[in-house]
Chains A and B, each alone.
Chain A
Amino acid sequence: MSSIPVEPIEAYGLSKKNRPKALFAKIGIVGCGNKGQSIALMASRNGVEVVFIELTEEKVEKAMHEMDETLSQQIDHWGMTQSEKRSILSRIRGSIDYADLAGADMVIDAILSKRREYAVEIRKSVFKRIEEHVEPHAIIATNSTTTVITELSSELEHKDRCVSLHFSTTDAESDVVEVARGLNTSDEAYARVLKFAKLVKRVAIPVEESPGLVSVRMIVVLINEACDTLMEGVATMEDIDLTLRQGLSQSLGPFELADKLGIDRITQWMENLYNEFGDIKYKANPIIKKLVRSGANGRKSGKGFYHYDASGKRLQPNLKQFGKRWN
C-alpha cells in the first residue's frame, strides 16, 4: 500500500456553518420478510446502509440468505453484476437487538401481522421500542397500509416524525411509493421522507392518511370483483386474467396478481378495510377464504388461484372452473 496521508475531510469545508448531516446514511428495518427484504435491497442499492431487526438469529440468517438469492436471480436475469451484488450485500446487516438501530436516520416497520386486533398493538410496541434507540430527529415509518399512522404514533414522545411509507407491493422494479402523513407529522419529517423516496429513485405519491391508501383499496376491490365474476360463471379464470392483461393493459390479471401478492395478505387487507369502513365491497369473497383455509396462499406456497412450479412459473388453475370455454 502506498503511504498517502489520510485526514478528515470536514477540516476542508469552506463554510463554517454546520453542514446538515447526511439525510439517510443509515436506515433500520424491523421485520425482514419479503417486504422488509425488498426495502433493504432498494435502499442499499442506492448507497444507504441498512440494519434490519428480526426475532431470532435463524431468521436473520434466513433473510440474508434470501436476499442473496434474490440478487443472484437478478444476475441470472442480467439485471445486475457480481460486483454490484457484493457491494449491495455489504451494506446490509441483520440483528436481533433493537439497540443496533442507534444512529439510523429512519426506521421502517415492515413486520408481518396476522390479526388486526393484535397488529395495531404489536406495531405500537415496535414503534415504542424503536423510539428508545434512535435520535429524536429519526423518522419512524410503517410500511403497513391498513393501520393509520396517527394511531401507531399516538404513544410516542416525538409523534411528529412518524409517517406511513408504502412501497409498491407487486413489483420490486416499480417506482412508486405512497407517502401518508398523520395528524401529528411535521412538515419537516414529511419533506425528509420525500427526499428518501427520491434517493431510492422512487416517485413519491402523497396520500392522505386513510386505511388502504390508494393501492390496496383499489386492488382488493378488483380482486373481489374478479372472484364474483368467476363465481357467476361469466368467464374462466384464465380468460378473466387475459381480459385484464391484454384488454386493459395490466401486466398481470387479478388472479395472477392475487397469487403474487399472497392471498393471506390480501385477506388481511380486506378484513382491515372492512373493519374500518364497514363497506361490504371489502369483505373477502368466499373463494378467497376457501383458498386461505386450504393453505393455498399464492405463488409462495406453490398454489393459490393457480398452481406454480418451484421456479414460480404458472401452471394450471387450482380451482374448479365456474365458467366455460367456448372453443
Chain B
Amino acid sequence: MNILVLNCGSSSIKYQLFDMREETVLAKGIVEKIGLKGSFLLNERHDGDKVRLEGEVLDAQAAIEYVLGVLLSPNHGSLRSMDQIQAVGHRVVHGGEAFQASVLIDQRVMADIERCIELAPLHNPANLKGIEAIASMIPKVPQVAVFDTAFHQSMPPRAYMYATPYSLYKKYGIRRYGFHGTSHRYVSEKAAEFLGRPLESLKLITAHLGNGASMSAIQNGKSVDTSMGLTPVEGLVMGTRSGDLDLGVLTFLMDKEELSLQSANSIINKHSGMLGISGISSDMREIEAAADQDNRRARLALDVYAYRARKYIGSYIAAMNGLDALVFTGGVGENSRTIRRLICQEMDYLGLEMDTERNQANPKPGDVATPASRARILIMPTNEELVIARDTLAIVGAADA
C-alpha cells in the first residue's frame, strides 16, 4: 500500500510518499511560500532525482494539486496513476480533548478539528485545508488524522490541570495539552526496542530538542507529563520561545512597553529563547560556535538551556519515581554533543552518568551512558512521517478488513 503523508502549514506543505510494504520512502518534498511571491516545490525521488518547480502556487489546494502532479509526472514522478495512492495521512497539530489517538477522517472528525482552531489558530486551519484539498481531488481515498496532542491525552488530571479557575477549563479548555506527541511516542517505542525491554515496563524521559523543544515523562508506554502546555510556548528554552516564564513578567512588560496582544505574543514566541538571551541566533550550531569563541551571552544561553532541561529531568524522575532511560531526539537532541553533555553533567545522584567519549561519537541510535549508569542515555532519531504513515496504514487496513 502506498501512503501519502502531508504536513500542511500556513505557507508550506511537507510531504512524503511511502511504500508500506517495506516502509520505504518513494518520494518526499516541500512546497514553500504558498500564496506568496516566489513559491516553489522541491521534490526528491528515492533514486536521487531532484527537481525544483517554480511558479505561482495560490493556495493549499493548488499546492497539493502540484504535489500529486509531480508524483504522477513521467519525468520526476514515482507513480503511474492516482489509484496508486491508497491512503493519505495528515499531521494535525491540535486535537484538543476530542482525540486520544489517530482517526479516520469523516465529517464529524472535520467538525471536531475545526472546533480546535481556537486552540491552534495558526496550525489547525492549514491542516484542515489540506484535508479538504485531498477530499476534493481524490475523494475516494481514505484520510487519517494524526494529532500532535493525542499521545499526551493519557496524562492524569494532576499533570494537565493548571491552577487557574476550573470554570475556565470548562469554558475554554484551558489545560496542558502538550505537542510533539508523535515524536515522543515514536522514540519511546524505539528506545524500548533498543533496550530489548517491553515498553510497558519502562520509565522514560524523552527530550525532543529542535527549534521547538519539549520533554515528556513516559511511564508504561503512556505519556504522564509533558513540558509544553496549552500552547507550544511553555516548558524548555527553545530557539526563539521563552519556555517557562513568570506570568507576572508578561503583564509587567505589557504595561511598561505598552505591548499589544500581538507584540506580547511575538516577544515570547519570536524574540525570546536562545535568540533572546544570546542575541546571536536561534540556531544552536551558531550559538555553540560563538560560545567556543568565548562569547559570554552565548555561554549564558547554553547554561540557561541546559539548566532548565535538567530541572525538568529531575522533576520527571520525581513524578515517575525512577528512570530507566533518558532519550534525546530532534535536530539538537540527535546532533548536539555539547547540549547533551551540559544537560547530563552532575546528574549522577539521579542515576545518569554520561560516557563523554561515546557522546562525542554521536551514535544514532545509540547509548551514551557509562556501563555503571543506573539509567541509560539514548540517542534515537525521530521519524514523525513514518508514524503518521503507520497509523494511517493501521486505521485504513482495519477499516478495509
Contact = CB atoms under 8 A, between A and B. Distances in A.
A6 B257 contact: no
B395 interface: no
A4 B50 contact: yes
Nearest to B35: A47
Given A12-B73, A78-B263, A79-B262, A47 B137 contact: no
A251 to B, nearest CB: 10
A49 B263 CA distance: 24
A310 interface: no
Contacts of B69: 12-14
Interface in A18-56: 19-23, 25, 47, 49
Nearest to B56: A22
B84 interface: no
B62 interface: yes
B137 A14 contact: yes
A99 interface: no
Nearest to A21: B56
Contacts of A214: none
B258 interface: yes
A247 interface: no
A14 B53 contact: no
Contacts of B270: 81
Contacts, number: 84
A23 B258 CA distance: 36
B88 to A, nearest CB: 15
Q: How large is the interface on B (under 10, 10 to 19, 20 to 34, 35 or more residues)?
A: 35 or more
Given A5-B52, A9-B41, A173 B260 contact: yes
A12 B53 contact: yes
A15 B270 CA distance: 40
A207 B73 CA distance: 48
A279 interface: no
A115 interface: no
Given A49-B37, A78-B267, A13 B66 contact: yes
Given A25-B56, A77-B258, A81-B270, A13 B65 contact: yes
Interface in B40-89: 40-42, 50-58, 62, 65-66, 68-70, 72-73
Q: Name which of A9, A47, A74 has the most chain B CB atoms within 10 A of its CB.
A: A9
Contacts of B40: 9
A20 B68 CA distance: 19
B263 to A, nearest CB: 4
DSSP class of A's interface residues: helix, strand, loop or mixed?
loop
B52 A80 contact: no
B36 interface: yes
A12 B70 contact: yes
B129 interface: no
Interface in B223-246: none
B37 A25 contact: yes
A58 interface: no
A6 B43 CA distance: 11
Nearest to A171: B260
A7 interface: yes
B54 A6 contact: yes
Q: How large is the interface on A (under 10, 10 to 19, 20 to 34, 35 or more residues)?
A: 20 to 34
B385 to A, nearest CB: 21
Contacts of A19: 58, 62
B123 interface: no
B259 A9 contact: no
A193 B222 CA distance: 50
B321 to A, nearest CB: 42
A117 interface: no
B52 A4 contact: yes
A145 B372 CA distance: 78
A262 B395 CA distance: 62
B220 interface: no
Nearest to B49: A5
B115 interface: no
B308 interface: no
A14 B68 contact: yes
B295 interface: no
B53 A9 contact: yes
A9 B54 contact: yes
Nearest to A79: B263
Contacts of A13: 62, 65-66, 69
A14 B262 CA distance: 39
A78 B271 CA distance: 7
Contacts of A79: 260, 262-263, 266
Interface in A48-102: 49, 74, 77-81, 91
A191 B39 CA distance: 25
Contacts of B56: 9-10, 21-22, 25
B53 A81 contact: no
Interface string B1-16: 0000000000100000
Contacts of A77: 257-259, 263
A21 to B, nearest CB: 8
Nearest to B68: A14
A46 to B, nearest CB: 9
Interface string B249-282: 0000000011110111011001100000000000
Given A7-B53, A10-B55, A49-B37, A81 B137 contact: no
A15 B259 contact: no
Contacts of B263: 74, 77-79
B47 to A, nearest CB: 14
B37 A8 contact: no
Contact of B51 (A5, A20, A21): A5
Contacts of A80: 266
Contacts of A14: 65, 68-69, 72, 137
Given A12-B66, A78-B263, A79-B260, A47 B51 contact: no
Contacts of B68: 14
Given A12-B73, A13-B66, A14-B68, A81 B271 contact: yes
25 contacts: A4-B50, A5-B52, A6-B52, A6-B53, A7-B51, A8-B53, A8-B54, A9-B40, A9-B56, A12-B69, A12-B70, A13-B65, A13-B66, A14-B68, A15-B65, A19-B62, A21-B56, A47-B11, A47-B35, A74-B263, A78-B264, A78-B271, A79-B262, A79-B266, A80-B266
Rank and list the top 3 A-B pairs by shortest CB-CB distance, nearest first.
A12-B69, A9-B55, A47-B36
Interface of A: 4-10, 12-15, 19-23, 25, 47, 49, 74, 77-81, 91, 173
Given A6-B51, A8-B54, A47-B33, 7 more contacts: A10-B56, A12-B53, A14-B69, A22-B58, A23-B58, A47-B35, A81-B266
